[in-house]
Structure 1
């Protein structure tokens, strides 16, 4: 449900499957809403569509009295209320009694159509502005990535090229094994793949281990200046362990400890660039999910200049990244503003304030 009209679904069901399942066939033109996964989303069906128990259809008792786009816009106007009513430990959901309790506006059919026409016109203008803002957002992301890739793809001929293993004191892997019963509420930060973002360590959802377990995991110990590299999921994503994280350990990450001749941030630059990601992808293994293993990391052919030139390029990268980040934030703020304006118009429409 990524748009107001659902034209195509990821999966299909046969007539026999429909007859032998609990799925319900909903006619084209009707409104459906998510009641579990994707809570708060709603759309109009372009075709007859089968739905399961996680989707509810809003079928009017008197079809000729309800404009379906009016119904859709109304659902969108109470989206926050629907999300807030969700319950459940892992996946939030709402129950049928709550849906039935939502107060549908008592508005004449002709007035419904007038409100829809006004909103359609306003949203068409908002959609054009939103498309432009999203295009600018993509440009801001591509600006930095394009510069980063050019550094390594078009590097001067005098740069040396060596295997990554020859430029590091050590390349190893974090702890691999069951962890569910080893986490503690405090202690040594224990990084996982989701904690490694391009160029930064994200401690927002970090786990912890106690001192006793940490003492068993010397091989996966992280030090400031180490380069932590995602091994599975988004292989090659890399960040340098910062000075303000003096003690940490990790699971299922490749750990590179550069020698003095290799600037850690320069290595992270390479791995986070499209050029580096392509090289990592070529050396990753696995059918369903790709893995970037220690052996593959050691065999990466790495081109690099002298240390002073590396420092200069790293400083240029930080300035470029800061500029791109400011552009990104400006574009994202514009997108947030346009989305909030849409919700404000919906609230006005269903409060009777739209003229």
Structure 2
């Protein structure tokens, strides 16, 4: 630690205010907004699902529970435990129970406290993880140790962090934009490949082009640690199965759940809901059974290349047409009769289908590589933020130039940007 710095308990340099136990039966559709733990998200205040009160309903003096512009908050229980937020608006909110508010004393400036609390989120979660309900007590929060530089040094550190984090956020925005561009590029290319197959005078039903279309068992399969994968809707990606976190079943359950049809390599599994319309091809050497809300589709091999059917169904207009038949007020759900009667237009030869699949596969591979690159970029930027904060509170942050050098290579290159605007070889 650098000369002139001290280690202080947070309770020594901050006053801490717990929230008020507002009565949920007094919440109103309009009035003074109340901040609950669910409103503390991503170092900010989430204004979704706000509740409101009429201050006149309470005899207590609520002034100390007012959250004014610039006030710092921390979630003390629930799924957002340890996360912090700042009121970046001019709106005055009221502090609900299990949300805490910091009031720094004269020896600590608020922006430095904000950055310090940003370094504590993961540790706070570890501290709170000891109970079934995540929870941070007031005493735990007050006992956090903060390295405290002199006030001029605090101002200097904050200025460096502000500049560095602004550059990092811009780099993140660029990476996120390019990630979205890569996804949209593939979707646009897919749509272009199937434009002539969306409508036409010649149509056939999906059922007539398949050897079978089989619904899943309408009950939940008993699961175990090992065994056969039970493919549920979260396991159905866009063309491929997602086996991370897949539920597994015993041999006996597998036999019962495949009595209508045994899924084979080249079959497709379609999600009927959540999210409806996703479809994946079963790869070679994988034995699976259907989970709930899924459909097994086995195309006639003389009429269909399996991956062609998957790409066709995943194209934008076909998705819209398929989901236009969906039912349900809150969850899209596609009926079996609509799946069987779904019209396929202008089906090309198997040879032409394979040529189309080969073209799409090339772009799909390139797009997935781009997406992986940008995800890694975003991860590295988050790690950079942690590294800079760690240096800031260990006295190693010496100059803006040194921080800038840490950020070298984090902005997407012009080559990367170009690669998300036009398909290679298309």
Looking at structure 1, the residues matched to 384 and 367 of structure 2 have their Cα atoms a distance apart, in angstroms, of 26
3-state secondary structure, aligned to 2:187 = helix
Please tell me whether residue 254 in structure 1 is matched to residue 298 in structure 2.
no
Task: Trace 1:313-324 onto structure 2 (pairs within 5 A).
Answer: 313-324=356-367
Count of residues in correspondence between the two structures: 350
Task: Trace 1:78-97 onto structure 2 (pairs within 5 A).
Answer: 78-87=120-129, 92-97=134-139
Q: Does structure 2 retain, via aligned residues, the 8 Å contact 1:30–1:59?
A: yes
Match of 2:22 in 1: none
Match of 1:203 in 2: 243
Match of 2:286 in 1: 245
Query: Structure 1 residue 39: deviation in Å?
Result: 4.2
Please tell me whether residue 117 in structure 1 is matched to residue 159 in structure 2.
yes
3-state secondary structure, aligned to 1:219 = coil
Match of 1:332 in 2: 375
Q: Does structure 2 retain, via aligned residues, the 8 Å contact 1:165–1:298?
A: yes
Task: Give the direction of change, closer, same or farther, for the CA distance of 1:174–1:349 in structure 2 (3 Å limit).
Answer: same
Task: Give the direction of change, closer, same or farther, for the CA distance of 1:214–1:4 in structure 2 (3 Å limit).
Answer: closer
Identify unmatched segments of 5+ residues in structure 2. Answer: 1-39, 399-426
Looking at structure 1, the residues matched to 190 and 369 of structure 2 have their Cα atoms a distance apart, in angstroms, of 17
Looking at structure 1, the residues matched to 364 and 269 of structure 2 have their Cα atoms a distance apart, in angstroms, of 19
Looking at structure 1, the residues matched to 268 and 129 of structure 2 have their Cα atoms a distance apart, in angstroms, of 40
Q: Give TM-score, length-normalised by structure 1.
A: 0.88
Query: Structure 1 residue 291: deviation in Å?
Result: 0.7
Task: Give the direction of change, closer, same or farther, for the CA distance of 1:2–1:150 in structure 2 (3 Å limit).
Answer: farther
Looking at structure 2, the residues matched to 276 and 157 of structure 1 have their Cα atoms a distance apart, in angstroms, of 10
Match of 1:348 in 2: 391
3-state secondary structure, aligned to 2:145 = coil
Query: Structure 1 residue 53: deviation in Å?
Result: 4.3
Structure 1 range deviating more: 212-221 or 232-241: 212-221
Match of 2:348 in 1: 305
Which of 247, 270, 274 lines up with 1:229 in the alignment? 270
Identify unmatched segments of 5+ residues in structure 1. Answer: none
Query: Structure 1 residue 208: deviation in Å?
Result: 2.2
Structure 1 range deviating more: 46-55 or 65-74: 46-55
Looking at structure 1, the residues matched to 132 and 206 of structure 2 have their Cα atoms a distance apart, in angstroms, of 42
Query: Structure 1 residue 101: deviation in Å?
Result: 2.5
Task: Trace 1:128-207 onto structure 2 (pairs within 5 A).
Answer: 128-155=170-197, 160-179=202-221, 182-207=222-247
Match of 2:401 in 1: none
Task: Give the direction of change, closer, same or farther, for the CA distance of 1:294–1:353 in structure 2 (3 Å limit).
Answer: same
Q: Does structure 1 retain, via aligned residues, the 8 Å contact 2:312–2:318?
A: yes
Q: Deviations over 1:135-158 (max 9, x none)?
A: 111111111111111122244988
Task: Give the direction of change, closer, same or farther, for the CA distance of 1:17–1:212 in structure 2 (3 Å limit).
Answer: farther
Q: Give TM-score, length-normalised by structure 2.
A: 0.74
Q: Deviations over 1:28-81 (max 9, x none)?
A: 321112333234532211332234445332233x3x443222111111122332
Q: Does structure 2 retain, via aligned residues, the 8 Å contact 1:258–1:264?
A: yes
Please tell me whether residue 294 in structure 1 is matched to residue 339 in structure 2.
no
Structure 1 range deviating more: 84-93 or 30-39: 84-93
Task: Trace 1:64-79 onto structure 2 (pairs within 5 A).
Answer: 64-79=106-121
Task: Give the direction of change, closer, same or farther, for the CA distance of 1:89–1:247 in structure 2 (3 Å limit).
Answer: farther
Structure 1 range deviating more: 213-222 or 73-82: 213-222
Task: Give the direction of change, closer, same or farther, for the CA distance of 1:157–1:178 in structure 2 (3 Å limit).
Answer: closer
Looking at structure 1, the residues matched to 212 and 153 of structure 2 have their Cα atoms a distance apart, in angstroms, of 71
Q: How big is the alpha-carbon RMSD for the aligned residues of Structure 1 and Structure 2?
A: 2.8
Task: Give the direction of change, closer, same or farther, for the CA distance of 1:184–1:75 in structure 2 (3 Å limit).
Answer: same
Structure 1 range deviating more: 212-221 or 152-161: 152-161
Q: Does structure 1 retain, via aligned residues, the 8 Å contact 2:210–2:299?
A: yes
Is the radius of gyration larger for structure 1 or structure 2?
2
Looking at structure 2, the residues matched to 20 and 198 of structure 1 have their Cα atoms a distance apart, in angstroms, of 57
